[in-house]
Amino acid sequence: MTVFRTLAIAGLLLGYAAVTSAQSAVDEIAKYRQQLQDGNPADLWEARGEDVWKQKRGPKGVSLERCDLGLGPGVVTGAYAQLPRYFSDADRVMDLETRLVHCMVTLQGMSLADATKRPFGSGTNRSDFEALAAWITAESRGTKMNVSISHPKEAQAYRLGEKMFYFRGGPHDFACATCHGESGKRIRLQDLPNLTEKAGAQLGYTTWPAYRVSQGELRTFQWRLYDCFRQQRFPELKFTSEASIALTTFLAYNANGAAFNAPAIKR
């Protein structure tokens, strides 16, 4: 089956209308996005995230201010542009959310179950991760992506992520590459970036987290992958799982060189 047909079927299955790729529509969408960008409610998540970072919490009653995101304890500015990365104190590669969980457990004394009980928010059940990610990533806005794969465990995560990206499976035999391996594809009003090309990988990665207008929530990269697993009809992607970190490493590394530009705002 050609990728185009697969995509068309994917569109139907997902209840999406096929969309024209006419340039005028593209221009209109760009205009709409620009208008949205001017009043991005992500600010609210950023403010709350800074509060959460500084609050004394957990059984040990300490803040996250000594959390080491890779550039030293408490250094937030620019840290996200170098994540995921290998952390020797945990002897593993971690993305932002995984590192935050690590700090909640080791610094604040939370149980793993408590720390991870609400990865994503809905309505009044807000997620600390979405707030923290909004603030922390905003502190890397404008910084060039600079993810390393020089440590063997980083290289291993990258290779695993790459393998997963091209791995076909599930009831529709989809891989990530089925939807994200061709340029100029769109479902509804949403571009399907070609993540196999430099420009697409950069755009697709550096614009998350994003405030989702349709959901009224700020969503993190963990959520992005979680939702694409759902669209792919794969088993539920476990929050901060090795699989999620590997895919993030693959995509983040491929975005190297581009200026980080989130939290963004999307449909």
Q: Name the residues that contact ligand HEC, by CB under 6 A.
A: 10, 165, 174, 176, 178-180, 187, 190, 192-193, 203-204, 207, 224-225, 228-229, 231-232, 247, 251, 267
What burial class does residue 73 get, using C-beta atoms within 10 Å of its C-beta: 0-12 exposed, 13-18 middle, 19+ buried? Answer: exposed
Q: Residue 262 corresponds to which amino acid?
A: A
Which single residue is written with the structure tokens 């020089």?
Answer: 150
Minimum CB separation of residue 196 from ligand HEC in Å reads: 11
Does 103 participate in catalysis according to the annotation?
no
Minimum CB separation of residue 165 from ligand HEC in Å reads: 6
Output 76 or 219, the one with its CB closest to ligand HEC.
219
Cβ partners under 8 Å of residue 104, min gap 6: 58, 64, 110, 114, 115
Output 28 or 51, the one with its CB closest to ligand HEC.
28
> Nearest-CB residue to ligand HEC?
176
Q: 24-58 burial string, b = 16+ CB within 10 Å, else e? A: eeeeebeeeeeebeeebebeebbebbbebbeeebb
Minimum CB separation of residue 199 from ligand HEC in Å reads: 11
Residues in the chain: 267
Output 53 or 80, the one with its CB closest to ligand HEC.
80
Minimum CB separation of residue 81 from ligand HEC in Å reads: 16
Output 232 or 240, the one with its CB closest to ligand HEC.
232
Active centre residues (catalytic) = 228
